[in-house]
Amino acid sequence: MALFLAPYNDSMRLGQGYNSFLHEQRIDDAVRINQNQVGQKPASNDGSISQDVTYSSGLVDKISHVVKSLNVSAGSCIKNGGIIGSGNSVAVNETTFATSDLNAVFSVKVVNKKTELLDMAEFEAKKDFNLTSESFLKIYGNCFISGFIEGGELTGVVSAKAAAAEAIIDQVKSFRTLPGHEVDSTLSDNDSFSEHESATRQAETAVTVSWSGGGQIKPEEKEWNLENLYAAAAAFPSKVAQHPQRTWAILTPYNHTKNFVTWANDQGIQLPQFETAQAYAEDLLGTYIEYKSCVKQVQAILQRPDAYVVRAVENAIGTGIGELIEVRSSLKAQMNAISQIIDELALRPGDIDEIKKQNPIEDPESWAVWLPVRKAQANGT
């Protein structure tokens, strides 16, 4: 069975309740776990570090694909107002992603060992609570923390204009061969790579990297670019061997415990199924990010209205301060409405159709084409 994971933080504890839709911790000691039930599973038995290393890369066209690669829930991104990975993290620039012609994700996952349950846990019902399905979800969540993964993970997001597309596509293909090849950290000596790096320098290219484990994986004086991302990825497993850290919590649904199903039936409590709500949340995240980008654009226009002109389209928005402030309020209202939908889905995922009907969200693309455009851009077209 595939593992269900959530980004690790220092306040997590074995047996703690968890909401997998929002990636939020719930009540401590939701299940009873004895220390003799917990064991570590290193990749080797002789004391040496034998790592499980996976390199992956691919082109993506939705911001939700980046979220999946970071193992972060779409609902938590909306509630937090943006996409932030774990560990030594750099927030993904959603505006750059949305305005780029091509986006690629590069990932290295390293597992040194797992700490997890060797036997089924026992659900710990609290006697002071008179619970319904909804209140159970608020207090306990829908699962519990049953273990931890120690190692490291690195994720790089490369966003580029069309001029660098061929170079990026080639690097996406070759990135997957890193485990089978010795890759020197001085990748500038590689003529083929240097040609690609030259192409990406000439085009508008942005590289965002987040990582957990491995310590300092890049000299502070160097900026993130495709070449330095490759060098860091090649050296990452050895860095993680020296500086591992807990990267993920392992989640287990309550109905996988010894006594929960019987207890829940007696109490009339049903665990929520978040699969459909999660898919909808991923769509909402894309919409939320588009609205966020529009708000940033309005803010830029407010700072320098004389640098913008009104578009020659129906329903065009002017450059007047009052009108722009009203538009900004309308955009933020849509963002707040999306956040409220996530709150409702987190408690009533089975009512998704009703929630959709009661909370219609406007298409953000209409707002984007109504907003004023820079004079230089208008003159260029």
Domain ranges of the chain: 4-267, 275-380
Cβ-count burial of 277 within 10 angstroms (0-12 exposed, 13-18 middle, 19+ buried)?
Answer: buried
pTM to 2 decimal places: 0.84
Q: Distance between CA 238 and CA 218 in Å, rounded?
A: 13
Q: Return the pLDDT at 140.
A: 95
Each residue's pLDDT, cut to its tens digit, for the chain (381 residues) gives 567 899 999 999 999 999 999 999 999 999 988 877 777 776 555 555 578 898 988 888 888 888 888 888 999 999 988 876 555 555 677 878 888 888 999 999 999 988 888 778 889 888 877 899 999 999 999 999 999 999 999 999 998 887 777 777 887 877 766 654 434 333 333 444 444 454 445 456 888 898 989 998 988 888 888 889 989 999 999 999 999 999 999 999 999 998 999 999 999 999 999 999 999 999 999 999 999 999 999 999 999 999 999 999 999 999 999 999 999 999 999 999 999 999 999 999 999 999 999 999 999 999 999 999 998 776 655
Structure tokens at 290: 């588009």
Q: Distance between CA 92 and CA 25 in Å, rounded?
A: 24
The Cα angle at residue 222 between residues 96 and 71, in degrees rounded to 5: 50
User: Beta strands 143-160 and 205-212: pairing type?
Assistant: antiparallel
Structure tokens at 184: 């020197």
Q: What residues does 253 pair with on adjacent strands?
A: 143
Secondary structure in 3-state letters for 277-341: HHHHHHHHHHHHHHHHHHHHHHHHHHHCHHHEECCCCCCCCCCCHHHHHHHHHHHHHHHHHHHHH
Phi, psi of 71 (to 5 degrees): 55, 35
CA distances from 278 to 59, 341, 349 (A): 22, 12, 9
**Under 8 Å between Cβ of 346 and 21:** yes
Cβ-count burial of 90 within 10 angstroms (0-12 exposed, 13-18 middle, 19+ buried)?
Answer: middle
Question: What letter does residue 127 receive in the DSSP assignment?
Answer: T
